[in-house]
Chains A and B, each alone.
Chain A
Amino acid sequence: MAATYLKRAYSSFLTHVVDVPPRLLSLLFLVLLVCTPVILSPTALSIYFLGVLITANIMAIFAASWDLLVGRAGQISLGHAIFFGIGAYTSALLVRYVGFPLWITIPIGVAVGTAVAVPIGFPCLRVKGPYLALVTMALPLIATGILYYFRDWTGGEQGLVVPRFFPFIENLYQQRVAEYYLTLLVLLISSIILYKIASSKTGIVFVSILDDEVGAKACGINVTKYKLLAFAIGALFASLAGSLQAHLIYLAGPASFSLSLSFYAIIITIFGGIGTIYGAIAASYIIYFLDQYALTMVVKVPTEWHPLIFIVVVIIFVVKWPRGIARFVVEDGLKELSKEREIEERGKRIWKKYKKKKDEKMKASQ
């Protein structure tokens, strides 16, 4: 019984994952990510490298949530960091003033972020396009002003110090490894959820709003409801990323509301290919690897040049090549590959049929 079930699972794994090049590629990438701490030796450099990967994991969640909101539902948001900051500060304030443990405050942070998205989103989504971009960009700035106003509670510019995830692990390297696996697990779960949402019926409705809002309305779709849903889903994952990030850097600071953070999600998503959830996740690793490791440790470009390089690349991408890197790899490269294979197989089939017919004819003539 179990053997047949396993056999069936294995064959379905073969047909649904191994035979589909993009899925095989992401599986191999996941295996590589899981194996990374095993390959690394506990040195200071690998602690740094793991830190880079942890940040990439967090930013992948953040960028993918922005991608769902903007690339799929078409609601241009330049202030996605507000949910990141709300998640971080809710978690930090609860730990600090109420004394809840981490495992309760992070879900509360996520819940608050999502709950705040509804009253924020409801009026915001009345406006469109550039106006929506302006309003959403203003929101984190207003939040920062409020943060500084209540500096006795929020710590002002210094922010709030928060406890780390695994206080019982003494060794820094082991702690990094534990944090790495935790964030990787969270990323895996949330990316699967985001991808499933994007390819579900709801996701198709989001794309219809992006393509033609009036048309979607005419088809009987409650546009406001779906926009709000996209906003809430985006906020959920952004605040998850925010509250995780606060406990990983041991600090909830005003930087988590900054424009540059919102813009980092945009850079990552555009680099990966806007509208593809997987592109944002892949690009997060590529960009953080290049930014924090290749350009810092290997080529040794001064740090202040990094944003300049990436942003110039993004401008070139937007102007000349808006499809992004992941679409190029998956749709142009791998799909071409699978198409070729399909053609080859079809050719073989046709050849067999033809041969059979020929044989029959030969037999008939004899």
Chain B
Amino acid sequence: MNLGDKALIEALLLYGAIAGAVYALLALGFTLIYGVAEVVNMAHGALFMLGAYMFFAFSLAPKNPPLWIASPFALESGWALIVAIIAVGIVGSIIYVLVINPVIKDALASIVVTVALAIVFQQAVYIEFGGVHRAVFPFVEGSTTILGVTMTYTKLLAFGASLILFAIISLFIGKSKIGKAMRATAQDREAAMLMGINTTRICMFTMFISASLAALAGILISGSTTQVATPQMWLTPLSMSFAIVILGGLGSIKGTLIGAFIVGYAENAVALYLPGGSFLKGVVALAVMVSVLLIRPKGLFGKRIELEE
């Protein structure tokens, strides 16, 4: 990043905010499926990656870039976005029913199975699209200058869309009937089952939302920040969502939002201020996560104390 010292603080402010908003969206899905089904979904990053690739596969090829392959389903950006999100959501529900639900009681088995799924998706994408970086193009052209920092419209769009969607999802969980059923399942699975809630179906639906959010975050991040998609890109968002969710407290939506902004700012501060800091960008989030787990394992807003049974 080529910035003068004067613009540094403004850049940090803006980049941190954008990163925080998109990370909040990413981590919301992770925290939802943990809260409702008590599954630590290690395949969350893979769904993120799958989202970016689905968008890539469904969308219309632009003029003549070398890294773009001709798509059989050439859709407009908006439609491609919706189709990709729904497709990944359906993939998420299918893997929940087929693979995660049978082992949901066993912590080790569910972790191993979801990491395995992540690697399955990585290999499947690798076989289908190849290991090369695929360019993901911004959906909106043009840029503007805010506080002396150049901002592309895509980044602003990602920021706005993330915050609006976050608000919609948290309202949905708080107010709607399905949201109430989700919260009931999260509180006590057996009791919810006795009250006539089909908990498996609720968990499946939660997985659908969670996977769709991961896919959307994947499309937004790969479209606005990195602009490439690779089969190995699932690990960074996964560790990011861990860090955020653990910082905010597993299963807490408010904590997720605050944790996402803290991690977003911390990461950008390290990248901007430390020499060679971009190598440590991913490390910051993980270091935050490890230190939170060791000092205050329930996170900032977590209710459960996980040290006891």
Residues in chain A within 8 A of chain B (CB atoms): 70, 74, 76, 78, 123-124, 126-131, 133-135, 137-139, 141-142, 145-146, 148-149, 151, 213-214, 259-260, 263, 266-267, 270, 302, 304-305, 307-308, 311-312, 314-315, 318-319, 322
Contacts and interface: CB of A to CB of B under 8 A. Distances in A.
Interface in B99-155: 99, 102-103, 107-109, 111-113, 115-117, 119-120, 123-124, 126-127
Interface stretch (B69-77, B256-264, B286-294): B286-294
B282 interface: yes
A78 B115 contact: yes
Contacts of B109: 318-319, 322
Given A135-B290, A145-B283, A130 B119 contact: no
A47 B118 CA distance: 34
Given A141-B239, A311-B119, A319-B103, A266 B112 contact: yes
Contact of B116 (A148, A151, A305, A314): A314
Interface string B278-300: 01101100110110011001000
Interface of B: 40, 99, 102-103, 107-109, 111-113, 115-117, 119-120, 123-124, 126-127, 235, 239, 242, 246, 276, 279-280, 282-283, 286-287, 289-290, 293-294, 297, 306-307, 309
The winner among A134, A137, A302, A305 for most chain B CB atoms within 10 A is A134
Given A127-B306, A134-B289, A307-B123, A146 B283 contact: yes
Given A126-B294, A314-B116, A318-B113, 5 more contacts: A127-B306, A130-B111, A133-B108, A318-B103, A318-B109
Contacts of A308: 120, 123-124, 127
Contacts of A314: 112, 116
Contact of A311 (B123, B293, B306): B123
A267 B276 CA distance: 36
21 contacts: A70-B108, A76-B111, A123-B294, A128-B306, A128-B307, A131-B246, A131-B293, A133-B107, A134-B289, A135-B289, A142-B283, A142-B286, A145-B280, A259-B235, A263-B115, A263-B116, A308-B120, A312-B120, A315-B99, A318-B103, A322-B109
Contacts of B119: 260, 263, 307, 311
Given A148-B279, A319-B113, A127 B293 contact: yes
Contacts of A129: 107, 306
B111 A133 contact: yes
A132 to B, nearest CB: 9
Nearest to B295: A123
A150 to B, nearest CB: 10
Nearest to B101: A319
A311 B122 CA distance: 11
Contacts of B113: 315, 318-319
A267 B279 CA distance: 30
A318 B127 CA distance: 24
Nearest to B120: A311
A126 B293 CA distance: 9
Contacts of A263: 115-116, 119
